[in-house]
Each structure stands twice: as C-alpha cells, then as structure tokens.
Amino acid sequence: MIRVYTGDAFDLVGSRTRTDYRIDTSQKWCDETFEIKPRNRKEKEAVTIRVTEHLYRRVNREIAVTACPFVKTDSQAMEFRVQLSPGEETVITCRVHYSW
C-alpha cells in the first residue's frame, strides 16, 4: 500500500476519547471502548471522511459493538467512512474485546 501526504485539512477535524477500559488478567482479556467525533467545518461542501482506527493491543480481538459500519483494512486496522454535510458532526462508538 502506498500513502501520499497531501497536506492538512484545517476544516476537517476530529477527536478520539477512550470512554471505558476493563481488564481481567486472570481471565486474560480486556475491553476497550472509544468514541470518535469527526466534524466537517466547511461552510458549503459535504465530505466523506475516512477514519482509521489501529487495533494494536492484541492479535486476538473481536469488534464487540460498533455504531457505524467499518471496513477492515489490514490485520490491525479498521476504517470508518462517514459522510458529513457542511457544519455536521457525528459520533462513532466502538468496543473491542481483546484476549490472550
């Protein structure tokens, strides 16, 4: 895969927050929940934003809950594609269950 950096889009912004993290070392699992908020600050143009989430904790994982469809881009990454109207923000919530 080749990626080309084309610059920064100051009017397409987002934030990512881990909202929950639980671990049970005796049972060898952990759950992580996160919330991603992409926002289109453009005044006139609708956009499609590709949000990539890297799943780096463990090889054994299961996407337990997601409020948005995603595409698995490789063995450790998933991509959400969201369409946003001008001035619109959305919330992507996802919980991942890891085991070892």
pLDDT band at 1 (very low <50, low <70, confident <90, very high): low
Calpha distance 86→40 (Å, rounded): 6
What per-residue confidence (pLDDT) applies to 53?
A: 93
Domain 12-99: state its class. mainly beta
Average pLDDT (20-29) is 96
**What are the backbone angles phi and psi of residue 91, rounded to the nearest 5°?**
-125, 125
pLDDT at 9 over 80: no
What per-residue confidence (pLDDT) applies to 59?
A: 78
Domain range list for the chain: 12-99
In our burial notation (b when 16+ CB lie closer than 10 A, e otherwise), range 32-44 reads bbbebebbbebee
Calpha distance 25→87 (Å, rounded): 43
Q: What is the pLDDT of residues 47-99, one digit of tens each?
A: 999 999 999 888 789 998 887 899 999 989 999 999 999 999 999 999 999 99
